């Protein structure tokens, strides 16, 4: 149907920004509906006395956030991550997989589903110098997400040992 390359909703967050912008130009009534929906959400939050995030206090700002491929700088305690609510329902520091996906210009799901992207992500992790920037549990979660292996590192030296022992990410591994 009309040169489309994927199945999914119009404005789907799994699509890249350029694709979503093209969809909203092609189907402007969907953009108008998103703006109305964001407006209703903001009205409801204000009416209930719930906070409205500073970075998105208008429907247009929410729409821009929806199109944006970056995470917001600030989030409230209800912000969800790939692994559920942030601990103590407060915003978390950057996630390892989020940063790798951003560096590669892909969605997190591509890190797991596209073999070449998975190999690139593992290679980035193997060569990362400032491993302590991320807590050990994020390394364990990332390896598990990418490879399906359950690992426990215990210390940052074990991360290096893991990658030294697993340097050839062949397509048949995945």
Burial class (CB in 10 A: 0-12, 13-18, 19+), 7: exposed
Are 28 and 20 within 8 A, CB to CB? no
Tokens 């199945």 belong to residue: 7
Residues of the chain with pLDDT under 50: 1, 78, 80-93, 170-174
Q: Give the whole-angstrom CA distance, residue 20 versus residue 124.
A: 28
> In sequence order, what are the residues at sequence separation of 6 or more whose Cβ sits closer than 8 angstroms to the Cβ of residue 149?
143
> In sequence order, what are the residues at sequence separation of 6 or more whose Cβ sits closer than 8 angstroms to the Cβ of residue 17?
67, 68, 69
pLDDT at position 49 = 77
Q: Give the whole-angstrom CA distance, residue 125 versus residue 121.
A: 6
Are 63 and 48 within 8 A, CB to CB? no
């Amino acid at each position: 149907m009309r040169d489309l390359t994927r199945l999914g909703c119009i404005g789907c967050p799994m699509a890249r920004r350029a694709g979503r912008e093209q969809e909203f130009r092609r189907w402007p009534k969907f953009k108008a509906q998103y703006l109305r929906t964001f407006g209703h959400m903001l009205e409801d939050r204000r009416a209930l006395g719930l906070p409205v995030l500073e970075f998105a206090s208008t429907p247009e700002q929410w729409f821009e956030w929806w199109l944006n491929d970056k995470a917001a700088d600030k989030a409230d305690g209800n912000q969800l991550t790939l692994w559920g609510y942030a601990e103590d329902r407060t915003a978390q520091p950057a996630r390892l997989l989020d940063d790798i996906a951003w560096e590669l210009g892909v969605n997190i799901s591509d890190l797991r589903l596209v073999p070449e992207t998975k190999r690139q992500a593992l290679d980035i992790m193997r060569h990362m110098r400032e491993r302590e920037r991320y807590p050990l549990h994020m390394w364990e979660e990332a390896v598990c997400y990418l490879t399906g292996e359950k690992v426990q590192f215990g210390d940052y030296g074990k991360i290096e040992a893991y990658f030294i022992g697993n340097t050839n990410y062949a397509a048949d591994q995945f």
